[in-house]
Structure 1
Amino acid sequence: MPEVKIRKKLLITEEIFHEGGPVAATPRKRGAIIAVIENPFAGRYVQDIAGFMDDLTPLGVALAGELLQALGGDAKSIDGYGKGAIVGAAGELEHGALWHVPGGYAMREILGDAKAIVPSTKKVGGPGTRLDVPVTHVNASYVRSHFDAMEVGVPDGPKADEIALVLVMSSGPRVHARVGGLAAAEIKGEDGLR
């Protein structure tokens, strides 16, 4: 498989104090890291692409570590995550799917004992394309207070022969979460769902 060639990385962090209601006692933190890489399969159909996931694994671990540090460095404070990919126009959706394993397992490794599947999205688009990356609780996908998404994008990417690979982490529920459902304190931690 070809080596991973990174053109640029972007790191976005935010603190959410309120959403029109009372100011939260503890602001919610969210962050995303994006690596824009060369798509080695752009412009042609390649049958056997799965091996590139192994090549992406070190990048996934490095990006997860950088994002965790940007959010304070405490893995126990991170309770939400998601991932995504934007494939440039000379690629195909399946090239974005190569990020599922290296991106998801990297965050699980960095965060320790995360049980829930890492939600994901992907699309094909040109420079400036925006992506809503879904976020759920790291240990139980059914925790409603953590259902969220973070919008990300790269102003000058991905170019036609690139892929933008995204990881998102968050700490805390939505600032004004109040629609019921399974609470984080009620997680059983048996199956990644509840």
Structure 2
Amino acid sequence: MIEVRKIVVTVEEVRHDGGPPLAAPLLKGALACVVRNPFAGRYEPDIVPMMEALKPLGLECATKLLAALGNEPGRIEAYGKGALVGSAGELEHGALWHVPGGYAMRELLGQALAIVPSMTKVGPMGAVLDVPIHHKDAAYVRSHFDGITVAVADAPRADEILFALAMTTGGRPHARVGGLAKEDISQWNGLR
């Protein structure tokens, strides 16, 4: 059921964002995995088996992204996921990535209590997907509200889905708008 056409991994090394240079560069990575959509062009009432079938791919993708960011789970502070469904598919086909993509990252990162933020949309080949990102242990850590843009020039074709994962080694450079700081996480409930 799962036919992968390509996997694209990108890593940004952010040294500053208009302010002073950071003590250590922030790494922001994204992985796009382009798969054939077996439901393209038709309505299928029972799509849950594909979600199960995607679980090994979710783990493979999360492992590749973590490796591209240095293969140190303890350095990853934030994450996100998303899906871009080709024009012959439907929004619900992208939602199949919620469990395989999100739980794969949480498994690899060990303690990862916060829900993995997500974006899903239908779009043409070359469309842009802005993947939301927030802190992996507490969704309200304001310094880590961020995102990364994912696009693959020849994907998704009408009968494909682009599944995306994102991870970062920190929050926004020069974050200074207040709110809960990562050092002040206290409830360990995924929120605060």
**1: distance between equivalents of 2:100 and 2:54?**
6
Aligned-pair CA distance for 1:190:
2.5
Match of 2:24 among 23, 26, 29: 26
**2: distance between equivalents of 1:108 and 1:129?**
27
2:19 is matched by which residue type in structure 1?
G
Secondary structure class of the residue paired with 1:107: helix
TM-score (norm 2): 0.99
Aligned-pair CA distance for 1:19:
1.0
Give the structure 2 partner of residue 74 of structure 1: 72
Aligned-pair CA distance for 1:27:
1.0
**1: distance between equivalents of 2:155 and 2:187?**
38
1:92-129 CA distances to partner (integer Å, 9 max, x unpaired)? 00000000011000000011110000000011011110
2:91 is matched by which residue type in structure 1?
L
Identity %: 57
Superposed, 1:138-153 pairs within 5 Å as: 138-153=136-151
TM-score (norm 1): 0.98
Secondary structure class of the residue paired with 1:99: helix
Secondary structure class of the residue paired with 2:148: strand
2:138 is matched by which residue type in structure 1?
A
**2: distance between equivalents of 1:124 and 1:113?**
32
Match of 2:179 among 172, 178, 181: 181
Consecutive unaligned residues of structure 2, counting only runs of 5 or more, are none
**1: distance between equivalents of 2:80 and 2:68?**
16
Q: Which runs of 4+ in 1 moved over 4 A?
A: none
Superposed, 1:5-24 pairs within 5 Å as: 5-24=3-22
**2: distance between equivalents of 1:65 and 1:161?**
26
Aligned residue pairs total 192
Superposed, 1:136-175 pairs within 5 Å as: 136-175=134-173
Secondary structure class of the residue paired with 1:98: helix
**2: distance between equivalents of 1:145 and 1:170?**
12
Secondary structure class of the residue paired with 2:67: helix
**2: distance between equivalents of 1:155 and 1:86?**
13
Give the structure 1 partner of residue 114 of structure 2: 116
**2: distance between equivalents of 1:84 and 1:95?**
11
Superposed, 1:15-54 pairs within 5 Å as: 15-54=13-52
**1: distance between equivalents of 2:7 and 2:127?**
16
Structure 1 vs Structure 2 CA RMSD: 0.6
Cα distance 1:153–1:64, how it changes in 2: closer, same or farther (>3 A)? same
1:57-93 CA distances to partner (integer Å, 9 max, x unpaired)? 0000010001001000000000100000000000000
